[in-house]
Structure 1
Amino acid sequence: MPTCPCCGALAGAPFYEVPAVPVHSVTVLRTPEAARAITTGRIALSLCESCGFVFNAAFDGNKQDYFHDYVSTQAASSVFNSFHRRLAQDLIDRHGLHGRDVVEIGCGQGEFLQLLASLGGNRGTGFDPAYEPSTELPRDVRIIKDVYSAKHAEAAGDFIACKMTLEHIDTVGQFVSGVREAAGDDPARVVFFQVPDAAHIFAQAGFWDIYYEHCSYFCPGTLRTLFEAAGFAVTTVRSDYDGQYLMVEGHPTSRPQAPTPPSDLAAIVSLVRRFAREVPEHLAAWSRDLAAGKRAGRRTVLWGGGSKAVSFLTTLGITDEIEAAVDQNPEKHGSFLAVTAHPVIGPEALRGAAIDRVILMNPIYQNEVAAQLDRLGCRAELLAVTSPLARQAA
């Protein structure tokens, strides 16, 4: 039985398995051959019924390489950019971040860090070992191409943010404890983390949101328990972005709480068991639906050329039932999705194209994508991946 990386208890046997998935799903792959040859790994999700943590017990970090053409930004979407700006302004307003030192762990290209700096007149320091400078950073922002740790004098700051990084780390207990050490003992120092909300994923049987890079999955109570056990006083746990993102805020405390099971543990266990029951039904329904569409000669594309699309296609074993993936990020145009080698095209490629259906990989972009399709004169049916329409044949 696997040991829980969050609390150290013995976890259960895997409840969801996928035998061969790409270890990276947003690496830009320039040829079909490179896409098909990408390294694969296994997913075997296990649940710890002591703390509610879900993790990939088959994860092997040695298979991964985040240093080569890894493109995960969502900055091409106005919906996402609006959310990002609102989030940064909210944190600045609530925590009085004006003329302060702000730190971001796993900052990528520094988009959010620059918002925190510019909107609040702050000084920003980011940490990301995969950072590759593409544009000149503002004067008050710098990014250190290294792993975040206490060895850096700049590691504490007045505010520490970490967005969409913790889910990529398999040793989560050790990592959060390391952040606590680097943060020091000042109770005025604020720590903010954002991760995917696993409760949202499990509730909708979202198999497309399970991929190799995300080896760790958190529901609200589990996230709170993890940070309290590491020595943080948790002030809030909340969700945002249509329930997709889970956020925790807190500060260092010299009197950490003894670890206790999360208050929503029973609900987490129930959600996981429901996910395990329902996913096979949804997979079968999608397979039937897409196969029927192919027989009928319907032309279908996915909207979104990132991790969700790759997981959707590889989990279903899809080939020519889907023609391509559409993505707004020009860096991805002309590339191919991992394993299946579906081409990634720009929205303009749909202008004048006889496409019958567009499957939207993230429903939060429904209005944005519908407006683009209308502008392009594309009359295709727009179907969100969460829609029950494709499963009515189940």
Structure 2
Amino acid sequence: MRQVLHACPACGAAGMAVFYEVRAVPVNSVLLVTSRDEAMNFQTGDIALAACPACGFISNIAFDEALTQYTAQYEATQGYSPTFNKFHKALAQDLIDRFDLHGKDIIELGCDKGDFITMLVEMGDNRGVGFDPAYVPGRHPSPAADRLTFIADFYGEQYADYRADFICCKMTLEHIPDVGRFVATVRRSIGDNGDTVVFFQIPNARYVLCDVAFWDIYYEHCSYFTKGSLARLFRANGFEVKNLWTAYDDQYLMIEARPGQSAGEQGRKGAGEEELDGEESVTETMEMVRYFVEHYEAKRNEWRAALAGWQAASKKVVLWGGGSKGVAFLTTLGQSLDDIAYAVDINPIKTGTFMAGTGQEIVAPAFLKEYQPDVVIIMNPVYREEISRDLQAMGLAPEIRTL
């Protein structure tokens, strides 16, 4: 690891330590790319992950916000998976029950196509406002449309006058470089309304580091948190952290926070607030970072050897998952169309598009009946059972590997 003169975006401390670098990766991994030529010549940027020695926050200090695009062509939904939908609906019901969300005003920051806030509004008879530049009108028709408002823009200071009983932000904070300023803006928007509940869901950095999941590190994800660093960020910006937990095979990290200091006291750490169970110290986070560094090369070489072996045996290999994990897996390993010709995705909107950076065509599952793959690499182990059933239903029995 090497020290750099870079102020931490979470706490402002200097001396972040770079521990992982990848050059020339696609700056967007889930934009709909309509030609192989466009995919092969997709704009690239660099990744230089650095850890803060003061708070444990991890940031891509090489990130350039101007390079990423969040438009209607940004297609990150997982809503075509029965496994994900079951989780998503259960999460919505859990939040409704946990926080008595009935007849309440709800804001979702980074609502994507609007599926989650639509569920919260429908299932709890609530009113909702969703912010996201990638929102597409009509993707989720709802009988509660008159209680839903969508603003196709990034949330920021210009919208701080929107008030709510419940503020939700799912899988968005990891895309934001200046996390301290963002969370401070959310706190200022609440003001002195001490009853407001704040819920964030983000990828769990412990999962990434301890599983050496280099395929979960991609350009759009410029910010990475453990329980400890996430709690420290919220406390430093005037929140009282009530709960921290993980879900989805520990891949997702959740936080419940409430305004704990007056808006005028933001920036001071919560004096006397006790840490919750499971909060990693900075020392523990740096130990996980060292573990990742020590095991990364072996994990990468293991996958390169497997792919080379299948190619030598003339086996047809496909990825199942035409999203960010697949793009990161292929580009980090430097794989080509000679190694893997296709990526499978159940999202019909992606069918006929191409993987940014490496050019694999994204095909529907039914394509495999004709293609007859020998090996299927599943990009997320959560979906192994679902995908295995789909393969079996098509009369296919390939070797299955999961990341």
Task: Give the alignment's TM-score, normalised by structure 2.
Answer: 0.92
2:310 corresponds to 1:281: no
Matched, 1:26 2:30: yes
- Quick check: 1:189–1:251 contact (8 Å CA) kept in 2? yes
Give the C-alpha shift of residue 68 in structure 1. Answer: 5.1
**Which one of 339, 343, 362 corresponds to residue 380 of structure 2?**
362
Unpaired segments ≥5 residues, structure 1: 386-394
1:55-113 per-residue CA deviation (whole Å, 9 max, x = no partner) reads 10100001112125110000000111111111110111011110111110010111000
For each residue in 1:177-219, what CA deviation from the matched residue of structure 2 results, as whole angstroms up to 9, or x when unmatched? 0010112221111000000000001110000000000000000
The answer as to whether partners of 1:53 and 1:222 remain within 8 angstroms in 2 is: yes
Superposition TM-score, scaled by structure 1 size: 0.95
Q: Residue deviations 1:138-196, cap 9 Å, x none?
A: 22111012222354376221100000000000000011000101122211110000000
1:242-253 map, 5 Å: 242-253=249-260
Alpha-carbon offset, residue 338 of structure 1 = 0.3
2:361 aligned partner, one-letter code: P
DSSP 3-state at the match of 1:15: strand
Question: Which position in structure 1 is the counterpart of 2:232?
Answer: 225
Residues 368-387 of structure 1: per-residue CA shift (max 9 Å, x gap):
000000001111011111xx
- Preserved contact between residue 23 and residue 39 of structure 1 (Cα < 8 Å): yes
Matched, 1:43 2:47: yes
Kindly indicate whether residue 163 of structure 2 is the aligned counterpart of residue 156 of structure 1.
yes
Q: How big is the shift at 1:130?
A: 2.7
Q: Given residue 232 of structure 1, which amino acid in structure 2 is its aligned partner?
A: F
Q: Tell me the distance in 1 between the aligned counterparts of 2:72 and 2:33.
A: 10
Deviations 1:286-321 (A, max 9, x none): 111101110111111011000000000000000111
Q: Which moved more, 1:333-342 or 1:59-68?
A: 59-68
Aligned-partner residue type, residue 233 of structure 1: E
Letter in 2 for 1:272: V
Q: Corresponding residue for 1:388?
A: none
Q: Which runs of 4+ in 1 moved over 6 A?
A: 259-262
What number of residue pairs does the alignment pair up? 385
Rounded to whole Å, the distance in 2 between the matches of 1:360 and 1:269 is 30
- d(CA) in 2 for partners of 1:301 and 1:146? 36
Alignment of 1:238-317 (within 5 A): 238-254=245-261, 258=269, 263-317=280-334
Distance, in Å, in 2 between the alignment partners of 1:331 and 1:368 is: 20
What residue in structure 1 maps to residue 200 of structure 2?
193
8 Å CA contact retained: 1:353, 1:378:
no
TM-aligned CA deviation for residue 247 of structure 1: 0.6
SS in 1 for 2:258: strand
Once residues 77 and 241 of structure 1 are traced to their aligned partners in structure 2, the CA distance between those partners, rounded to angstroms, is 14
Question: Residue 185 of structure 1 contacts residue 253 of structure 1 at CA under 8 Å; is this kept in 2?
Answer: no
2:359 to 329, 341, 349: 341
Deviation readout 1:259-295 (Å, 9 max, x if unpaired): 6996522221111111011111111111111011101
- Which blocks of at least 5 consecutive residues in structure 2 are unaligned? none
Q: Tell me the residue number matched to 1:60.
A: 64
| Alignment of structure 1 residues 168-187 onto 2, 5 Å | 168-187=175-194
Q: SS of the counterpart of 2:309? A: helix
Matched residue, 1:353: 371
Worse overlay, 134-143 or 244-253: 134-143
Contact 1:231 1:252 (8 Å CA) reproduced? yes
Q: State the identity %.
A: 45
- CA drift of 1:128 comes to 1.2
CA distance in 2, matches of 1:65, 1:76: 23
C-alpha spacing 1:371/1:199, structure 2 compared with 1 (3 Å): same
Once the two structures are TM-superposed, the CA of residue 129 in structure 1 deviates from its matched residue by 2.3
CA contact (8 A) 2:102 2:125 kept: yes
C-alpha contact 1:97 1:122 (8 A) present in aligned 2: yes
Matches of 1:208 and 1:267, distance apart in 2: 22
For the Cα contact (< 8 Å) 1:103–1:124, is it kept in 2? yes
> In 1, Cα distance between the equivalents of 2:185 and 2:269?
18
